Amino acid sequence: MLLNILHTVLHVTVALTLPPLLLGVIGKVKALFAGRVGPRLLQPYYDLFKLARKGSVISQTTTWVFHLGPVMGLVTPLLALLFVPLVDSHAPVSFNGDLILMVYLLGLGRFCTASAALDTGSSFEGMGAARELTFACLAEPALFLGLLVLVKLTGSMELATMLGSSLAGHWPTAGASLVLVLLSWFIVLLLENSRIPFDDPNTHLELTMIHEVMVLDHSGPAFGMILYGASIKLFLFAALLVRLVMPVSTGSLALDWAVLVGGVLIVAVAIGVVESTVARLRMTHVPLLIVAACLLSGFGLVLLLR
């Protein structure tokens, strides 16, 4: 009981504090590739702090829907993260079938962000919302097919078990499937978090943006919430990957957490490397790569079912 409370406290603390660091790591890796010093690792925290103290400019054409976007953009990934086991087989909340809730909490966040974008009536934001939703629809099967592989392997519909320490035993027998899921989910991670090659988080070109263009009208604390929420979502996907690859339970709580944090940072470095070496896809080619992600997960499932 006491251990459970400790787990939950640690889980929530890490979920709240660690995510912006991932953005800092990505920034640092990209700077190294570009031959620059780059902003310091903790810069995203300073940015969030700065935004929190700023005022907001709110368009008069907007309604409450516009305000709901940033709030849901922050709350939904946080809630979704409660179902993901960060260490051992423990998640603060878990029940049979929670994987569906987790995925659709993210979907709800996206729905609210897109609604807020449409609420401004701006042609850019409408364009961005259309792009984001189109690509997200295509990415959903990839995520679910991967989850199905885990369901099939572990025989559970609870994320805490599916990504828990029992998964480690399946690597020797079903490694091929799991590698395929890993690749597929990394593509989904890049897409869901609007990273290169799908989207360029650093671009100022509103016509080419996907995610960024939807939040152009938000400013100050609301924009801070969006950035914070985005980093939590990135952390969530990174944690999924880490748990998929290293569902280990060493017996030592400290070591378990070290594995998770280290793993998540490695994912951030990998994202930084991808962003430093690959150009963005042409918008018309984005669906092709997402479909490839679906196929990878699908093949993973086929391998198990044969």
Partner 1 sequence: MARTGFAALHPGQAMPKAGLPLLPMPEFQRAIAAGVGRGLRVSALFGHCPAPGAPVELFAVLNDSARAILRGARSVLAADDFPSLTRECPQVHLFEREIAEQYGVTPRGHPWLKPVRFHASYRDLAPGSPAGADADAPAQALLPALEGQAAPGAGTHGAGPLIGVTDFYRVEGEEVHEVAVGPVHAGVIEPGHFRFQCHGEEVLHLEISLGYQHRGVERMLIGGPDKRGIPAIETLAGDTTIGHATAYCQALEALGEGRVPGRAEVLRGVALELERLANHTGDLGALAGDVGFLPTSSYCGRLRGDFLNLSALLCGSRFGRGLVRPGGVAFDVDDARRDQLLTRLAATYRDVQSAVNLLWESASVQARFEGTGRVQPEVALSLGLVGPAARACGIDYDVRSQFPSGIFRFAQVPISTWTTGDVFARAYVRWLEIQRSVLFIQEQMKALPEGPVRTAVGAARPDHVVVTLVEGWRGEICHVAVTDDSGRLARYKVVDPSFHNWMGLALALRNQQISDFPLCNKSFNLSYCGHDL
Q: Which of residues 53-112 bind partner 1 (CB under 8 A)?
A: none
b/e string for 42-62 if b means 16 or more Cβ within 10 A? eebbebbeebeeeeeeeeeee
Upper half-sphere CA count for residue 16 (Cβ side, 13 Å): 6
Which residue, among 173, 181, 156, has the nearest Cα to 244 in the 3D structure? 181
In the complex, the smallest distance separating the C-beta of residue 298 from partner 1, rounded to whole angstroms, is: 25
**Residue 67 vs 280, nearer CB to partner 1:** 280
In the complex, the smallest distance separating the C-beta of residue 58 from partner 1, rounded to whole angstroms, is: 20
CB 197 within 8 A of CB 289: yes
**Residue 107 vs 126, nearer CB to partner 1:** 126
CB 189 within 8 A of CB 238: yes
Q: Which of residues 7-36 bind partner 1 (CB under 8 A)?
A: 30, 33-36
Q: Which of residues 276-305 bind partner 1 (CB under 8 A)?
A: 276-285
37 belongs to the binding site for partner 1 (CB under 8 A): no
Q: Which of residues 123-152 bind partner 1 (CB under 8 A)?
A: 123-124, 126-127, 131
Tell me the β-bridge partners of 87: 90
Residue spans of alpha helices (H) in 97-219? 98-119, 123-154, 159-162, 171-192
* Sole binder of partner 1 in the list 77, 85, 197, 229 (CB under 8 A): 197
Which span (177-185, 245-253, 261-269, 270-278) binds partner 1, by CB under 8 A?
A: 270-278
Is the C-alpha dihedral spanning 148, 181, 27, 42 positive or negative?
positive
Binding stretches for partner 1 (CB under 8 A): 30, 33-36, 123-124, 126-127, 131, 196-197, 200, 202-208, 275-285
